[in-house]
């Protein structure tokens, strides 16, 4: 890039010493630009402008900033150049400045902006405009300018959704803290777990019936024969009390049936509970559907036009 170093200085009212120093800084800046040291050239041009504002200095400052891809600053310098360059100033640099300003504005719009997301907890699930993204916090995304919808969620913590407006070439940083993670509770909506709970409740009811049937049987024997008809087992008691065989057979059958049913239900509940999937506190894995290339600190969205 050839820097216009021979531009007219223009009419500026300044003290002789300041004007001389400003001119020296300007010439240093031009020489540095010719060598490709644009960072140092920008410093000299800015120091020169602090002493005397001349169109030629502004033009060369804009060119150096453009070479450094500092487009917003370059646009500001070139626009100021166009403001103070009167009709006596060469038309060529003015035409070039207008073309550069238009080109840089178009590039800024296409380049979009940068969105930085600082996420807590770090394993939260992050989506931007419906696309999953991943990476260690802070997550840096290059996206198109405009409004973007950000969704952050984590199991046992909650979720947050918000919009971010990015200007062309702008940078926005958002911190999202969802809060402390809560202990995962039982998912009663899971079919196996719910069935296990219902079955356990039924087993408890039947177990109560089994106990009641046993108590009734013992009461029958005690009421009619007291201790004289109290052998140690049901079978021998039935033999010792032949006149109560019918009643004892009914109560014994009821007790056996209810105890057996309670055992079956309890066993079924255990099996159902074991079949239920474990409750996990980990967030689901995420995939950067629109970010095929990323590092631990930065994700570059290659389809920024879709975001």
What are the tens digits of pLDDT across the range 58-96? 999 999 999 998 888 999 999 999 999 887 788 889 999
Q: Is the pLDDT of residue 125 over 50?
A: yes
pLDDT of residue 4: 47
Q: What pLDDT score was predicted for residue 58?
A: 94
pLDDT of residue 297: 37
295: pLDDT strictly greater than 50: no
The pLDDT of residue 221 is 60
Q: Where are the domains of the chain?
A: 16-110, 113-183+286-306, 191-275
Q: Give the Å distances, CA to CA, from 45 to 5, 48, 93.
A: 12, 5, 17
Is the pLDDT higher at 289 or at 71? 71
Percent of all residues in the chain with a pLDDT value above 90, rounded to a whole number: 22
CB-CB contact of 12 with 53 (8 Å): yes
**Helices 55-67 & 71-84, crossing angle to 10 degrees?**
160
Report the chain's mean pLDDT, rounded to a whole number.
73
What average pLDDT score do residues 101-126 get?
Answer: 82
Q: 111-115, 168-172, 234-238, 243-247: which range is least confident on average?
A: 234-238
Q: Which two tokens stand for residue 245?
A: 């065989």
Residue 232 scores a pLDDT above 50: no
End-to-end CA distance of the chain: 34
pLDDT value for 270: 75
Which range, 1-10, 76-85, 213-222, 287-296, has the best average confidence (pLDDT)?
Answer: 76-85
| CATH topology (fold) of 113-183+286-306 | Immunoglobulin-like (2.60.40)
- The residue that leads in pLDDT, 238 or 193, is 193
Q: Which CATH class is domain 16-110?
A: mainly alpha
> Is residue 64 within 8 Å of 31, Cβ to Cβ?
no
pLDDT digits (tens, 9 = 90+) for 170-228: 778 888 887 765 555 545 446 766 776 777 777 677 777 767 766 766 666 666 555 55
Cα separation values, 2 from 6, 68, 89, Å: 11, 15, 19
pLDDT for 285: 39
Nearest to 128 by CA among 282, 286, 284: 286
**Residue 296: predicted pLDDT:** 36
Please indicate whether residue 168 or residue 42 has the higher confidence score (pLDDT).
42
Q: In what order do the strands lie in the sheet with 139-143?
A: 171-177, 113-120, 139-143, 299-300, 293-294
Taking residues 229-244, report their average pLDDT: 55
Query: With 60 as the cut, is the pLDDT of residue 12 above it?
Result: no
Q: Could you give the C-alpha distances from 307 to 95, 152, 259, 290, 303, in angstroms and in order? A: 35, 16, 65, 9, 7
| Block residue for tokens 């995420």 | 286
Please tell me the predicted confidence (pLDDT) of residue 176.
84
The stretch 164-170 carries a mean pLDDT of: 75
Report the percentage of the chain scoring pLDDT > 70.
64
Total Cβ atoms within 10 A of residue 219: 11
């Amino acid at each position: 890039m050839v820097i216009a170093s021979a531009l007219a200085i223009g009419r500026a009212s300044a003290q002789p010493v300041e004007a001389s120093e400003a001119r020296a800084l300007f010439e240093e800046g031009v020489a540095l630009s010719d060598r490709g040291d644009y960072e140092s050239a920008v410093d000299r041009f800015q120091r020169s402008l602090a002493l005397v504002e001349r169109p030629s200095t502004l033009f060369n400052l804009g060119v150096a900033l453009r070479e450094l891809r500092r487009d917003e600053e370059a646009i500001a310098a070139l626009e100021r150049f166009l403001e103070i360059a009167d009709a006596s100033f060469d038309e060529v640099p003015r035409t070039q400045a207008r073309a550069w300003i238009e080109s840089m504005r178009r590039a800024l719009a296409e380049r979009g902006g940068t969105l930085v997301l600082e996420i807590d907890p770090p394993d939260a699930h992050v989506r931007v405009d419906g696309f999953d993204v991943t990476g260690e916090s802070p997550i840096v995304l290059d996206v198109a300018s405009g409004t973007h919808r950000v969704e952050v969620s984590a199991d046992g913590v909650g979720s947050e959704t918000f919009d971010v407006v990015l200007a062309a070439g702008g940078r926005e940083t958002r911190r999202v803290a969802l809060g402390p993670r809560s202990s995962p509770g039982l998912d009663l909506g899971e079919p196996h777990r719910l069935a296990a709970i219902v079955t356990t409740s039924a087993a408890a009811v039947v177990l109560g019936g089994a106990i009641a049937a046993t108590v009734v049987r013992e009461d029958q024997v005690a009421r009619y024969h007291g201790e004289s008809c109290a052998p140690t087992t049901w079978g021998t008691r039935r033999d010792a009390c032949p006149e109560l065989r019918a009643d004892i057979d009914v109560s014994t059958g009821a007790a056996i049936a209810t105890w057996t049913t309670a055992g079956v239900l309890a066993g079924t509940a255990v099996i159902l509970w074991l079949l239920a999937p474990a409750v996990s506190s980990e967030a689901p894995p995420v995939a950067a559907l629109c970010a095929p290339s990323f590092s631990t600190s930065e994700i570059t969205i290659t389809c920024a036009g879709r975001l």
